[in-house]
Amino acid sequence: MALSINPNIKRLVCSRTGEEVEHDGFSHPIGLSPAGFPVAVEYDLAAISEQFGDDLFVDRPGMWRYTNLLPVAGVPDAYGADVGQTPTVPYPDLSERYGIDLWVKHEGGNPTGSFKDRGLAVGVALGHALGAESFFLPTQGNAGVAASLFSTRLGLRACRVTMPEDYVGGMYHKACAHYGGEVSFFGPNIAAAGKFAREQMAEEVAAGRSVDLSTFFEPGRLEGKKTMGLEIFEQFGDDLPDWVVYPTGGGTGLVGIWKAFEELKALGLIPVDKAMPKMVAVQSVNCAPVVESFRAGSELVAPVTSEGTIADGLDVPGAIMGHEILRVLRDSGGQGVAVTEEDITVAYNELAAVGAASGFEGSATLAATKSLLESGSITAGEKVLLLNTNSPWVALSKTLS
């Protein structure tokens, strides 16, 4: 397969310091910046606009429709055609109930049932295009399943997935193994599992043979998640939502959607004077580092001790890209909202009652919307988009077993 790097990448930058990060002609995989922060891909958007004009988005199934704004090209349809291009659906009953215009983007149709497929599809293809032969990551759920699948799709060595010890024999363990992942277990949580995996793999990473796919440890996952923002733009056109409500763990989706909007503005596809959606980071009160740091007006996200949440994807006690998450919330005029476990379950049932098949993470976004209506932040008639980030089956397996 002839994977190639987008020739219109202008430079790689440290997301925290803004300093350019060397890539030596894209001759090796990209990890964190020398300052220890996530690296972001910057495109030459003027050149892209001039080169592709009205043909910026290509006629292909799946998310490589956005190939001109992705770092890696050349994936075959067998790799990427079933990733992305998910539906965005209006809910008239809920809209009437709350006096707003409510929409849900459903990510459950991705191949492993969650939006993680977008980021891992790009992360794996990019790392391989840069010379890596294998991948590893710590996970407590969907990301490990997606990383296993895309490593298998490229015919690479099994993705090495490390999970906290109490995941042995669980659904995610079996799903990773099913898609070809090599699963191991370490420690009480994902932070401990990650530290262990990094120590084990240090030599292979230094040699450029393996890539750490942990959230934001390489730039591909963010670029993949960005495609949600590009789709939102295509699905809503001139009439973008007033609010985008996002269930936030590590924050790749939130930062990615906003990166898409910023690139579209720079490309002239969104008018510069157009009001942009206000971005909302939703977390559980049991684990709300982003919400707490946003309220405190901090520059970085301070880690917390998680008390556990039914919404696995929100059980992330720190955020290496916290500075960007907080910038997006501030720049967009958005909010951080923490919802209770009970609020999540009530919203989960409320969505089911109108025929919306949602996970717990997606349900948390409806709970947050109700809270923002109560506080008067969201006002009558506003257009609100909820991100339902996975299929309902993980939640159903917990509530129905």
Ligand X SMILES: Cc1ncc(COP(=O)(O)O)c(C=O)c1O
Nearer to ligand X, 45 or 351 (CB): 351
Residues 334-373 within binding reach of ligand X (CB under 6 A): 359, 361
Q: Is residue 249 within the footprint of ligand X (CB under 6 A)? A: yes
Residues 89-128 that bind ligand X (CB under 6 A): 114, 116
Measured over the CA atoms of residue 271, residue 275, residue 277 and residue 279, the dihedral's sign is: positive
User: Helices 142-153 and 116-129, interaxial angle, to 10°?
Assistant: 40
Q: Given the rule CB under 6 A, which of 33-41, 75-83, 138-146, 235-243 is the region that contacts ligand X?
A: 138-146
**Interacting residue with ligand X among 29, 250, 277, 322 (CB under 6 A):** 250
Closest CA to 315 of 327, 307, 326, 323: 307
Inter-residue contact 228 to 252 (CB < 8 Å) = no
Residue 313 near ligand X by CB under 6 A: yes
Q: Is 106 helix (H, G, I), strand (E, B) or coil?
A: strand
Does residue number 141 form part of the binding site for ligand X (CB under 6 A)?
yes
The answer to whether 142 contacts ligand X (rule: CB under 6 A) is yes
Query: How far apart are the C-alpha atoms of 121 and 129, rounded to whole Å?
Result: 12
Q: Give 390's strand partners.
A: 114
Local structure of 130: helix, strand or coil: coil
Q: Which residues contact 392 (CB under 8 A, 6 or more apart)?
A: 108, 357, 358, 359
Number of residues that bind ligand X (CB under 6 A): 18
Is residue 251 close enough to count as binding ligand X by CB under 6 A? yes
3 state DSSP class of 354 = coil
- 135 with 211: CB under 8 angstroms? yes
194 binds ligand X (CB under 6 A): no
Q: Considering the complex, what minimum distance in angstroms separates the CB of residue 252 from ligand X?
A: 4
Contact window for ligand X (CB under 6 A) among 32-40, 85-93, 135-143, 162-170: 135-143
Residue 291 CB, nearest distance to ligand X (Å)? Answer: 12
**Should residue 317 be labelled a site residue for ligand X when binding is judged by CB under 6 A?**
no
Residues forming contacts to ligand X in the complex (CB under 6 A) are 114, 116, 141-143, 215, 247-253, 313, 359, 361, 389-390
